[in-house]
Every structure is written in C-alpha cells, then in structure tokens.
Amino acid sequence: MSVSTQCALFSLSAAGWITRMRLQVGHWFSHGRVPYAWLVLSLVAVGVPLVSGDYWLNAILIPFLILSLAGLGLNVLTGYAGQTSLGSGGFMAVGAFATYACLIHFQLSFLLAIFLGGGVAALVGLFFGLPSAKIKGFYLMVTSLAAQFFLEWVFVKFPWFYNYSSSATISSPPITVFGWAIASPLSKYYLVLVLVSFLTWVAVNLTRSQVGRNWMAIRDMDTAAAVIGIRVHRSKILAFAISSFYLGIAGALWVFAYLGSAGVQSFSLQRSFQVLFIIIIGGLGSISGNFIGAAFISLLPLLLDFLAHTFFARMVDAGLLQNLQKVIFGSLIVWFLIKEPEGIARFISHLRGRLAVWPLRF
C-alpha cells in the first residue's frame, strides 16, 4: 500500500471519528444528557483552589458539596422511589456517630470508618423502611419523623456514642488518608470533592440501571409496578438503605471535614427540612438538581446578607435586617416553586430547550 493511500485512509478514519464525536456531543445537548455535575465538579476542582482562600473552602464550597451529597441521598428515596421522609438528619447522625465510633473505639482508618458508618446508616434506614410495605404517603412521612426523634434520643441517652464526653459532642481526631494528613482546608476540600464525585457517579449509573427503573415505576404507580413483576417491597427497602448510606456518609463528612466538632443538635429536624428543601428546589428525580438546590440553599443567604449589609447596614436595625433576609429568602423559595414546581433543574432544561430553537417558538 502506497504512502498516499495510507494517508488518505488515515484522513478518512480521522474525519469519521470527528463526525461521530460531533454527533455524540450534539446528542448530549439535544437530549439534556450533558454530565453537568461532573463538569461543574471538574471546574471547581481545577479553578477554585487557585483563586479562593480558606474562607471560600471552609464556609462555602465544603458545605455546598456535603449538602449536595445529602440531597442526592434523599433524592434517591423521594425523587426516584417516591417515598417521603423527614428523617434525613437522623440518618446523617447515624453515619457521623458510627464513623466516630469506628475511629475512636476500633481504631480503623478513616476511609474504612466512613464507609462502615455509611453501612450502619444503611442498616438503620433499612429497618425504618420496613413499614413502607404497609403504609405510604403522609403516614410513612410520620414514621420517618419518629425515626428522627428516636435517633436523636439514642445518641443523647447513651454516652458510648460520644466517648463519654462531658459536652456530649464528638470531635474530629487527626485524619490521614493513604498517608496524607487531612488537616488544611484545601486537603479537606479535595477529600470531600473526591468522595462526592465518586458517589455521584455511582448514583448516576444506579438510577440508569434496572434498579433505578424499578424505583421510577414504583414512584409512578406501585400497583402497576407489582403487576408487571417488580418486587415493590424489596425495591422500597433497597431505596431506604441506599438513601441512608449516602446520608450517613454526608453526616460523617459534615462533622469530620466541615464542623470539626458536633453534637446531636447539628442533625436536628431543621437539618432534615434543609435537605428536603434542597431536593424540592433543585428538582425531584434529578441528579444535577441536588447541586443546584444546595447552591441555592447555601449561597443565596450569603448573597442576601452581603447585599443587606452593603446597602442597608446604616438604614435598618440589624435584627430587623436579619428578619427581612429570612422573609426574602422564603419568598424566593415560594416564587420558584410556583414558577416551576418541578425544580430549578427542570426550569433550566426548559430554558435550554427554548434557546435551542430561538428565535422560533414551540
């Protein structure tokens, strides 16, 4: 074969590869399948440590990623499987206290301890998910609320969980991962980023698998799902277990990568409502919606606080200013829910569809 023929064949194969890539990218954009969460996390991983200080890492980015993971855990249960829950804070507490017990009482490595803590949370979630075989809707939500209060009582009643500390709190011991000391804000940020990215990748593939399709069938109509052969009760319990696993790891990261020291009050009912608002605002049944909702919940109050102190600090009393911020924040939540009940992720999807055919109407 001559050199010119080889060059021609190479050019044709390269052109074919480029054409296939263009078609694939176009398919992603036209069907809304661009992996936004991965793109955002990649940009954050590369750019933020170069331009931000410790305040951004400690006060904004680390809690944003952890709340996104907690929202992802609840969204698996509520958004995909259709099971309501108000016990997110309790399952986060299980993961945090179980991880602490593995570190202090059993002297395990941090990565092993945090995944075991998530496993313990999954077992607890599986137990409290058993009533889902007989009840659903409002009654199941009340059951999860009872689990929240029961778990709070357990971690206050038995001092073993917080190593008999007089303050009834758990504190993060020195943490190393593969010989790397996790002490600086940057190292904690990278640890959280890697764990959240990995668990998000697992959740994306899980929701696209047969298990995820079973959950969505149960969410839409559990009777029809049972008729076509889906084991409804087993799928519901699995959803509770996986959701609690994610929430347990989020709770452990909340203590050991963000707060440094925490008690049961850090995982109260208010935390459960916060996680619930994240998935409602971001979008039920959406992976990217968890990150959007967490950004809304964590960043918007900071923005309102900055604007209030910048423009109205000397005009309005500080207490009244703080209450006005809460009113504005709540009003924006209500407005978003009225404008797009399926969450900001669906609003962005609709906007992207309109921009794709602009200036035409559809």
Report the alpha-carbon distance of residue 111 to residue 131 in Å, rounded: 32
Whether the per-residue pLDDT at 76 is higher than 60: the answer is yes
Q: At 36, is the pLDDT very low, low, confident or very high (cuts 50, 70, 90)?
A: low
Q: At 344, is the pLDDT very low, low, confident or very high (cuts 50, 70, 90)?
A: confident
Q: What percent of the chain has pLDDT over 70?
A: 84
pLDDT reported for residue 247: 97
What's the mean pLDDT in 313-339?
75
Whether the per-residue pLDDT at 6 is higher than 50: the answer is no
Report the alpha-carbon distance of residue 11 to residue 19 in Å, rounded: 12
Report the alpha-carbon distance of residue 15 to residue 10 in Å, rounded: 8
Tokens 């399709």 found at: 213
pLDDT reported for residue 356: 72
Which one has a higher pLDDT value, 177 or 4? 177
pLDDT reported for residue 236: 94
Tokens of 260: 């440094």
Whether the per-residue pLDDT at 1 is higher than 80: the answer is no
What tens digit of pLDDT does each residue of 12-21 get?
Answer: 454 444 444 4
In this structure, are residues 334 and 282 in contact, taking their beta carbons and an 8 Å threshold? no
CA 42 centroid distance within chain: 17
Q: At 29, is the pLDDT very low, low, confident or very high (cuts 50, 70, 90)?
A: very low
Q: At 45, is the pLDDT very low, low, confident or very high (cuts 50, 70, 90)?
A: low
pLDDT reported for residue 222: 87
Average pLDDT score, the chain? 84
pLDDT reported for residue 360: 65
How many helices and strands (H and E) does the chain possess? 15, 4
Tokens 């890697």 found at: 194
Helix (H) or strand (E) holding 273: helix 269-282
Which one has a higher pLDDT value, 151 or 38? 151
Which one has a higher pLDDT value, 44 or 358? 358
pLDDT reported for residue 299: 83
What tens digit of pLDDT does each residue of 216-268 get?
Answer: 999 999 889 999 999 999 999 999 999 999 999 999 999 999 999 999 999 99
Q: At 201, is the pLDDT very low, low, confident or very high (cuts 50, 70, 90)?
A: very high
Whether the per-residue pLDDT at 164 is higher than 60: the answer is yes
Using alpha carbons only, give the angle 354, 358, 361 rounded to the nearest 5 degrees.
70
CA 16 centroid distance within chain: 39
Which one has a higher pLDDT value, 318 or 55? 55
Residue 170, beta-bridge partner list: 262
What's the mean pLDDT in 19-30?
45
- In this structure, of 56-60, 78-82, 252-256, 299-303, the range with the lowest mean pLDDT score is 299-303
What's the mean pLDDT in 267-277?
93
- In this structure, of 68-72, 110-114, 138-142, 338-342, the range with the lowest mean pLDDT score is 338-342
Cβ of 302: how many Cβ atoms within 10 Å?
11
Going by C-alpha positions, the residue among 240, 256, 236, 245 that lies closest to residue 121 is 245
What's the mean pLDDT in 24-49?
55
What tens digit of pLDDT does each residue of 93-141 get?
Answer: 999 999 999 999 999 999 999 999 999 999 999 999 999 888 888 899 9
pLDDT reported for residue 7: 47
Report the alpha-carbon distance of residue 187 to residue 180 in Å, rounded: 9
Tokens of 12: 């044709």
